[in-house]
Amino acid sequence: MRLRLPAERPAEPPTGYKIAHPMLSQDGARAGFTGVSLGGALPYGVLDDASCVYGRRHRPPARLCDCGFHCVHEREVAEALLCTAEHRAAVLLEVSVLGAYIRFERGFRYARQRVRTATVGPCACGAAAAALADAGWGRPGWRALAAACAGCVRARASVSLAGFARLAGQGLRVIAGGAGAGGGPPVAGEGFGVPELVAEAALLQARLDWFQSQLARLGERGEQG
């Protein structure tokens, strides 16, 4: 006789945590995420349904397959993954587990999710992130983004944290965290407050300074010629 665990019917969607890379569409009109392991080739939106990465026609999460979204129960476990070299540029996501799911000891595998919060770590230089800038790699039709401070953005394709939240939609909150993905002031997906406007101004000023330095360099070359 095969024993089966009882079905769960929670009053509210369970909460989980995972890490992912922020993504920006080629035309700059959409924002989303892509995973760091299984399914990393398929960017997903803030509210999205899972699909089988092996191309099978069953509905995730199938018991005899690895398909579906994945997350862990504990925030600290997901944060620990950000310590590895290959995941330093990823962001921490807090998600709502929707639809059918399979519960494991450390997390869930499930059919549908809503990303509620994305916590962005510091820039590679150690300063707090003011934007998400082109990370130098991507997927077909999508650019991967990484945290960047106002001084390190320069001329790279980028979007502010508030801009990313707005493009992603569905009420996503983007938080600029410190070392270890600590908490910071939330950036809502709709509207701008004083912190968001200050960050936007700093980003624009950094770009202006960079362009002025380039123009000055071209002027010096012209005089020498």
Work out the burial of residue 140: count CB atoms within 10 Å of its CB; fewer than 13 is exposed, 13-18 middle, 19 or more buried: exposed
- Is the pLDDT score of 87 beyond 90? yes
Residue 10 lies in a domain: no
pLDDT in tens, 185-220: 455 554 555 555 666 666 666 667 666 776 777 766
Number of domains in the chain: 1
The reply to whether 1 falls in a domain is no
Mean pLDDT of 27-52: 92
Does 83 fall in a domain?
A: yes
What's the rounded Cα separation, in Å, for the pair 174 and 192? 13
| DSSP H or E run through 114 | strand 107-120
Measured on CA atoms in the order 200, 202, 203, 207, is the torsion positive or negative?
positive
Q: Are 116 and 96 in contact (CB under 8 A)?
A: yes
Contacts of 141 (CB under 8 A, 6+ apart): 25, 26
70: containing domain = 15-218
The pTM (predicted TM-score) of the whole model is 0.79
Could you report the per-residue pLDDT of 49-76, keeping only the tens digit for each? Answer: 999 888 888 999 998 998 999 999 999 9
Give domain status of residue 46, yes or no.
Answer: yes
Question: Is residue 224 assigned to a domain?
Answer: no
* Residue 52 belongs to a domain: yes
pLDDT digits (tens, 9 = 90+) for 16-34: 999 999 999 999 999 999 9
**Residue 167 has what DSSP assignment?**
H
- Note whether residue 9 is domain-resident: no
Report if residue 172 sits inside a domain.
Answer: yes
